[in-house]
Each structure stands twice: as C-alpha cells, then as structure tokens.
C-alpha cells in the first residue's frame, strides 16, 4: 500500500492504515478477517500501544486526572518524581479497555477492537492470578 500524499509529503502510516492493509491482504487471500489467534491479538494490541492514538489518549487521561480522580492524580504526581507511573495495574488496564473501545467506535473496526480486548483480558487474568492486579506500575 502506498502512503497517502499530504501536501507533497508522504504521510506517516497510522495504526488504522496498517490494520486496513493487513485486512485487505487477508481478504485477497480468502482468509477469515475475524482474528481469534492469541499471538495475532497480542501483536495488534502491541501495535495499538505504539500508536499515536494511544499516546494522545494517555496524555488526555493524565490531563483529566486532577478533576476526575484526585487520588490517582496525587499518586502519579508523587511517583513521577522518582520516574515511575504510580497508577495501579488495574487502572492501566481500565485505560486500555476504554481506549480500545473508543478506537473501535472512532474507526469502525469493531472486530479488531474485540480481538485487542481479548488480549487485554488475558493480561488482566494473568495479573489477577499472580496477585499483581492491585500493585503500582513502576
């Protein structure tokens, strides 16, 4: 897939572009587009966590904490002095879930967001089994 042009400059490929390209390839090969493979789900979610969408979403969460969750705001502020995050694991997972749901609604890629949510659920289950769901993120 060629990158769409923007005022004579090549545009950076977005997560949506990458996913659309991969779906187009699967459709062309006659394969099912709905992905239920755990490794593939994890790769999609890893790509999401590296996307501009997630980075902007994470910044909006930080900026809204002062009025939406004062306890978390104070914890993250104190932790940032030591180079840490300060959020609890379950809070980060909740952020991921909300961001993926919003991304699915914004883009219309509901099935792909469902796949990423499966990967998040696996992560949440792992932390619950290992007793780290209520630990602070380093």
Residues β-bridged to residue 6: 9
Residues 102-124 have pLDDT tens digits of 999 998 888 888 889 989 999 99
Average pLDDT of the chain? 81
Q: Is residue 138 part of a domain?
A: no
CB atoms within 10 A of CB 25: 11
Q: Is residue 1 part of a domain?
A: no
When divided into structural domains, the chain yields a total of: 1
Q: Is residue 34 part of a domain?
A: yes
> Residue 20: what pLDDT?
66
Q: Quote the domain boundaries for residue 36.
A: 15-51+71-129
Q: State the 10-residue block means of pLDDT for the chain, 138 residues long.
A: 45 66 66 60 89 92 86 90 90 95 90 89 92 90
Of 37, 34, 8, which is closest to residue 19 (Cα–Cα)?
34
Of 120, 124, 97, which is closest to residue 38 (Cα–Cα)?
120
Q: Is residue 77 part of a domain?
A: yes
Round to the nearest angstrom and report the end-to-end CA distance of the chain: 39
Q: Is residue 90 part of a domain?
A: yes
Global pTM reads 0.72
* Angle ∠(61,62,66) on CA atoms, nearest 5: 105
> Residue 129: what pLDDT?
92
Q: Is residue 25 part of a domain?
A: yes
How far is residue 105's CA from residue 58's CA, in Å, rounded to a whole number?
Answer: 17
Q: Is residue 9 part of a domain?
A: no
Q: 108 — alpha (psi -120 to 50), left (phi > 0) or beta?
A: left
Q: Is residue 62 part of a domain?
A: no
Of 45, 39, 37, which is closest to residue 19 (Cα–Cα)?
45
> Residue 28: what pLDDT?
65
Structure tokens at 101: 């749901």
> Residue 11: what pLDDT?
58
> Residue 115: what pLDDT?
87
């Amino acid at each position: 897939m060629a990158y769409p042009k923007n005022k004579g400059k090549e545009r950076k490929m977005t997560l949506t572009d990458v996913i659309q390209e991969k779906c187009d390839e699967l459709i062309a090969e006659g394969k099912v587009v709905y992905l239920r493979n755990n490794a593939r789900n994890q790769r999609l979610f890893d790509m999401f966590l590296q996307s501009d969408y997630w980075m902007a979403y994470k910044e909006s969460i930080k900026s809204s904490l002062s009025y939406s969750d004062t306890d978390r705001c104070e914890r993250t502020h104190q932790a940032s002095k030591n180079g840490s995050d300060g959020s609890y694991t379950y809070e980060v997972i909740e952020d991921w879930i909300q961001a993926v749901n919003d991304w699915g609604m914004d883009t219309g890629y509901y099935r792909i967001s469902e796949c990423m949510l499966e990967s998040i659920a696996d992560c949440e289950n792992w932390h619950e089994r290992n007793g780290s769901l209520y630990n602070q993120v380093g």
